[in-house]
Chain A
């Protein structure tokens, strides 16, 4: 069974701090790893990672994947109160039934609270 584990489950920081969120996985037929931000309702897409060691950046957010050690990190620098959200990690992998049928397995998320 595919497994995605995020840590920590929750985190409280002050504005301006830098945070690192972790995601480890055990899946068969890995395809990609995705990060989403969820603020009370719809998760919004942040990054898709497919290759090891290549950092993806978007403003103060960055993420990297290690396919050998089976984990990814999401970094947020100079945090702001607007960064408060649940951050979801999901791994895309081939379904057991095979073919070209892929599924996303989600972790439980990390609840980040940024205090002013």
Chain B
């Protein structure tokens, strides 16, 4: 299973874009990148996933580099409710392996 590396914490001003980086240099060709988040005391919540192309949905955008060794999750207009731990996961063999994630604090 490919390993991911994320900064332990980040701050973002409310209303600004939050850009969360993730390194996954050992990703293999058929592995997807998934992003989940966990708001305090709640279960993890799916955000977005991608393979090669950039993806966008109602929650976020996912930018994957051409060599697929890193990706960035973008929350275009962060709100206080986006304060959470964000997990970047490379899916392996039917299970999600959660790392430490990035604790994003959105401040007024």
A, B co-complexed: no
Chain B residues in contact with chain A, CB under 8 A?
none
